[in-house]
Every structure is written in C-alpha cells, then in structure tokens.
C-alpha cells in the first residue's frame, strides 16, 4: 500500500461512496427516467455495452456488468422478446451462444444517447469554463486511476 494509512483509505472509501451517491441522486436518476419508457436501466446498460463492444457470450456480459448469469438471463430474454437483441451461435464453437444487438436495438440506443448527453450538457452549462475544464481533466484522470484498480 506504499505507506498509506488504513484511516486514509477508509476516508477515501467514504468520499468515493459519497461522490457515487451524489452522482446517482443528481445525475443518474434523471437519466434513468429518460430510458424508463423504452427499457429498464439494466436493459439499457446491456444494449449500451453490446453497442460499444459487439457480440458477447452471456458469461462475458455477466462478468462485464458485474452480475450473475442468473440475473442477466431475464434482462437478455426481455430484450430478445422486444427484438432489441438476438442470440447467435458462435462460428468457432457451436456450443457457445453469443448475444448481439439488432438494428432495432442499435437504433433505439442511438436515439436515446443524444437525449441523455443533452441532459448532461444542460446541467454542465451552469458551470464556468474554468470549472468545466477542471472537471473534464479530473474525470479523465479518475478513470485512468480507477482502471488500475480493475486491472489487479
């Protein structure tokens, strides 16, 4: 731990949780309301991930979403029943079933994403230019640092 005291790490954990709660309450809840008419938050996450990463197995999706396959199954099946996802047999291993976004699913995601971004833009417009630049740098750096935690 490089000489970092446990109390400091506990304070960091407290601050991290407080920041997450703040973002959930002030940002994510309004974004979830935007997607709620089309799909649940978990369903939106699944479609979003597949749009970004491409075809995945159920195991890969569950691992990426940090949920069990049992939790993922009803999410995926609901999206399949609405024509937003499709199951396909892996070309290299016929035992593996891959999940892909349909054109309808991609279209819905691409329709929702600009509205979500604009909602954030409206909130960010309230900040002065210097703070926007600082926030942008802090978010990039935060992501870099937290990626190191994930890699271990």
What are the residue ranges spanned by the domains of the chain?
6-151
Q: Which of 47, 102, 108 is nearest to 72 (CA)?
A: 47
Strand partners, 98: 57, 88
pLDDT tens profile 95-141: 888 999 999 999 999 988 888 888 889 889 999 999 999 999 999 99
Task: Identify whether the C-beta of residue 49 lies closer than 8 Å to the C-beta of residue 61.
Answer: yes
Separation between Cα atoms, residue 74 and residue 71, nearest integer Å: 7
Q: What is the pLDDT at residue 56?
A: 94
Q: Which of 2, 13, 1, 73 is nearest to 43 (CA)?
A: 73
The CATH code that applies to domain 6-151 is 1.10.10.10
Phi and psi (nearest 5°) for 90?
Answer: -65, 130
Q: What is the pLDDT at residue 30?
A: 72
pLDDT tens profile 6-47: 678 889 999 999 998 988 888 877 777 777 777 888 898 999
């Amino acid at each position: 731990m490089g000489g970092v005291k446990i109390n400091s790490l506990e304070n960091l954990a407290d601050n991290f949780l407080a920041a997450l709660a703040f973002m959930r309450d002030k940002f994510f809840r309004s974004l979830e309301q935007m997607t709620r008419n089309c799909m649940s938050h978990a369903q939106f996450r699944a479609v979003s991930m597949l749009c970004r990463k491409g075809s995945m197995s159920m195991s890969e999706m569950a691992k990426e979403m940090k949920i069990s396959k049992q939790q993922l199954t009803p999410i995926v099946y609901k999206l399949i029943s609405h024509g937003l996802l499709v199951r396909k047999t892996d070309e290299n291993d016929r035992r593996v079933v891959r999940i892909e976004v349909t054109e309808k699913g991609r279209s819905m995601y691409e329709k929702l994403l600009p509205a979500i971004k604009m909602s954030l833009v409206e909130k960010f417009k309230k900040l002065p230019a210097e703070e926007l630049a600082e926030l942008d740098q802090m978010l990039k750096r935060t992501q870099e640092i937290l990626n190191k935690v994930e890699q271990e």
